[in-house]
Structure 1
Amino acid sequence: MDVLFQGDRTLVSRISTTTGNVIRKEMRGPGRTARRRHEMSILRRLADVERIPQIMVGADEKDAVLLEDSGGVILPELVETGPMRVDDLLAFAEDLSGIVEAIHRHGVIHKDINPNNIVVAGDPARPILIDFDLATTFALERPAFTHVKDIVGTLPYLAPEQTGRTGWAVDQRADLYSLGATLYELATGEPPFGDGDLLQLVHDHLTRVPTPAWERNPQVPPALSRIIGKLLEKEPDNRYQSAVGVLYDLRRLRRALVREEDTNFILGERDFPWRLAAPSHL
């Protein structure tokens, strides 16, 4: 057995069987049976979505989820030497945004998109979004104020509204913020506000504007930096409203770069809310 990840809530390992390798995600701690049932339900809902882990047919354990093994590695292992090459980053960003668009179209919000929840497999390397433990099928949620250590999710990539300190509802746009934080790290080598003190991270998510990605890494096209910046807007209403809008702009940017056309286009021209929602401010 090869341990891939071990934490208070889960143990993820690669195990060998007579038919090949299997990924075993063991739930730990209080509520583990209910959490397993929840994640199985989410994965079944997403069974026809590409680049999502597939449940092993006929496999069943009380407190574990058994998944097909893609043979990949988690994203941080791929980029531990520094930022991703721009050409690779543009393709990767489009792939990852496509996965997010697909799960949203199926009525699922991931709520914890970050590099450790992305497996990279294949040649060329393509993302697989994993770990739907915190995912929800509710259109929106309103997290309560809680101690910083009890905030659910991976804080360096978490949307401001997920901290429970804004009064804003959490909907699919929280995933778009986390997508932006992940792409920011791939572009610059670090999350928007680092990964240090928890209180400082919460403060920064709520109040600080991140340094534009192109200033941290001059190889990043300014238009891509603008797309990432729009994903990282504090107020949900100012962000992209849908992964469809993100995908459109990423594809438009790639075409413009290939054709050596102007990339200073208006962002969000094909971005529309996936549902009617009350504005962040009245």
Structure 2
Amino acid sequence: MLVVSDTSYAFPGYRITEQVYSGSKTLVYRGIREQDQKSVVLKLMRNEYPSFAEIAQFRNQYIITKNLDIPGIVKTYSLESYRNSYVLVMEDFGGISLQDWRLEERGKKENKLSLNEFFPIAIKIASTLEGLHRNRIIHKDIKPANILINPTTDEIKLIDFSIATPLPREIQFLTNPNILEGTLAYISPEQTGRMNRGIDYRSDFYSLGVTFFQLLTGQLPFITKDPMELVYSHIAKQPLKVSRINSNIPPILSDIISKLMAKNAEDRYQSASGLKHDLEACQNQWQETGNITPFELGVRDISDRFVIPEKLYGRQSEVETLLAAFKRVTEGATEMILVAGFSGIGQNCCGQ
């Protein structure tokens, strides 16, 4: 288990045993609650004088999770005042992040999962997202660092709801990529604020696709240190198929991950239950035969809510004409295109 030696913080009513995480914004400790000797995890802000926005995010974790009764979500016990901010007290189920577990369990030599390891983890995460989305909550920061596993019991739990939202849909405005909500390597195209699209529960599926991609290949789909290039990649670039990077991955599982990572939310899975069904079908075949025969994806993928598509339908030939002209202009040509028609018939849509 990852242990950081600094235990300089003291919390009244708790006995600190170890520091398990030290980040730029937060610190996480493991300790014992003295009133009942219960093992707990305590999370606090690193900044001694946090901003209002930082405090609001921290309180958001407690407000969203305190009444959730989902097995795959770490239980929150209390939010207590501490110095100039708060300390969040949560259950300690002996978990370690998938990000650390992948390295520690393999002696830092092999950081990708076998299919026998992957399927139980993936199915449990899908079950957790099913419960989360049923409660109309969008996590917005799915990644290996926010998924915990108990190496002994194989329990899987999701953490860090600091930017989660109970809204069915929200808008991300255009902003500097360095201050976007979420983790840039995992955010969906709509989370970049450059897609003119709202963020809904399907944004979590994209981030989950990136997570699955990393767990099975040992690398991220887009590898760059340039924030703007990473934003562009999420919006416009297609990553390599997982099966091309790791030849041990059956093509159908690779297709599931590609579906999760579709650029348009309408082309992704529309429900966690539909994803779970396809993962279970893959797991059953793998356990029975050691092989996975391709099958139609999404046959049980039925959304439980009414979502108005933001994808443009029709105008395909017009869009292709515009894209072809754009490509010629980028290669040095000079052109002008005029879009004609009566008011209200969709010249705007064509121009997008």
TM-score interval for Structure 1 and Structure 2 normalised by the shorter chain? over 0.9
Q: Work out whether residues 156 and 195 of structure 1, in 8 Å CA contact, stay in contact via their aligned partners in 2.
A: no
Q: 1:39 maps to which residue?
A: 61
Task: Give the letter aligned to residue 75 of structure 1.
Answer: L
Helix, strand or coil at the partner of 1:227:
helix
Residue 75 of structure 1 aligns with which residue?
Answer: 98
Amino acid at match of 1:10: T
| TM-score normalized by the length of structure 2 | 0.75
Which runs of structure 2 are paired with 1:39-188 in the superposition (5 Å)? Answer: 39-46=61-68, 48-56=69-77, 60-62=80-82, 63-80=86-103, 81-188=110-217
Task: Indicate how the Cα distance of structure 1 residues 136 and 195 shifts in structure 2: closer, same or farther if over 3 A, else same.
Answer: farther
Q: CA deviation at 1:37?
A: 2.8
Return the alpha-carbon distance in structure 2 between the equivalents of residues 255 and 228 of structure 1.
Answer: 18
Instruction: Provide the C-alpha distance between the structure 2 equivalents of 1:101 and 1:116, rounded to a whole number of angstroms.
Output: 20
Q: Deviations over 1:48-94 (max 9, x none)?
A: 1002111236x733512101111121111111232101111011111
**CA offsets 1:200-242 (integer angstroms, 9 cap, x no match):** 1111101111111111111112111111110000110111111
Amino acid at match of 2:298: G
Structure 1 window deviating more from structure 2 (224-233 vs 253-262): it is: 253-262
TM-score, scaled to structure 1: 0.93
The size of the alignment, in residue pairs, is 280
Task: Supply the AA of the counterpart residue of 1:43.
Answer: T
In the alignment, which residue of structure 1 is the partner of 2:300? 270
Aligned residue in 2 for 1:22: 40
SS at 2:311 equivalent: coil
Segments of 5+ residues of structure 2 without an aligned counterpart are: 1-6, 8-17, 104-109, 313-352
2:56 partner letter: A
Larger Rg: 2
1:20: how far off? 4.1
- Alpha-carbon distance in structure 2 between the residues aligned to 1:91 and 1:195: 30
The residue matched to 2:66 in structure 1 has which SS? Answer: helix
**8 A Cα contact 2:285 2:292, kept in partner:** yes
Moved more, 183-192 or 7-16: 7-16
Instruction: Tell me the CA shift for residue 36 of structure 1.
Output: 3.3
Please state whether the residue corresponding to 2:185 is helix, strand or coil: helix
8 Å contact kept, 2:129–2:272: yes
- The offset of 1:15, in angstroms, is 2.6
| Structure 1 residues 161 and 268: alpha-carbon distance in aligned structure 2, compared to 1, 3 A threshold | same
CA drift of 1:195 comes to 5.6
Unaligned ranges ≥5, structure 1:
none
Identity fraction in percent: 34
Higher relative contact order (CA 8 A, sep 6+): 1
Code of the residue aligned with 1:24 in structure 2: it is L
Give the partner amino acid of 1:66.
Answer: V
Q: Is the aligned partner of 1:225 residue 2:254?
A: yes
Contact 2:118-2:216 at 8 Å conserved across structures: yes
RMSD: 1.8
Quote the Cα distance in structure 1 between the aligned partners of 2:296 and 2:280: 14
Q: Secondary structure at the match of 1:156?
A: coil
Give the drift of 1:196: 2.5
Tell me: CA distance 1:262–1:130, structure 2 relative to 1, closer, same or farther (3 Å).
Answer: closer
Cα distance between partner residues in 1 of 2:241 and 2:101: 23
